[in-house]
Amino acid sequence: MIHASNVRSLVLAAGSLCIVSAGTASAQAVANCPLQPAVSTTRQVLNCEAGLSVTVERGAHYRFADRNHDGRADALVLDSKAALVDVDRNRVKGGFEVVTPQAIAAVRGTRWAVDVKRGNTSVLVLRGRVAVNKVSTGQGVTLGQGQGVDADRGRAALRVTQWGQPRINALMARLGQ
């Protein structure tokens, strides 16, 4: 059973859902995202098709979705903890999305991190540009390198900020970076 807002349910209903885990980041992966052994027990690395890599924090609750039914994951549905996504636009056609209870972050090619905790979603761009839309209002912003945004379930506007190095380092450390 999926507990989600209408927007999030619509995103999932548009494609078949491939369950990656039974509640945590410690199970099998989809066909184009095989689980790779990680040096650290703090994360798991999924090197998907050429040009798509997803690193998830240990204990993260997530699943992949194949929205266009082509047999490849094109979205990560992240309910808790953090994920680092690296997409090469020259190799991954159609882009990739991370869907959380509070926001949808979509790209064609970039490297970005998403963190879900305590009713908030934080998005940080490490390379490229990411479009972030707030689920509750539909408001969207575009982030560039070093920029981030925090989205909650409320109606407050999204505010783009330049993240400080301590905040970036703390999130990246959780992802083994």
Identify which of 86, 79, 83, 108 has the alpha carbon closest to the alpha carbon of residue 12: 79
Q: What pLDDT is attached to residue 39?
A: 57
Query: CA-to-CA distance for 44 and 54, rounded, in angstroms?
Result: 8
- Kindly report the CATH number that applies to the domain delimited by 38-175: 2.60.120.1440
Boundaries of every domain in the chain: 38-175
pLDDT along the chain (177 residues), means of 10: 31 27 40 60 82 91 88 90 92 88 87 93 95 94 96 94 96 92
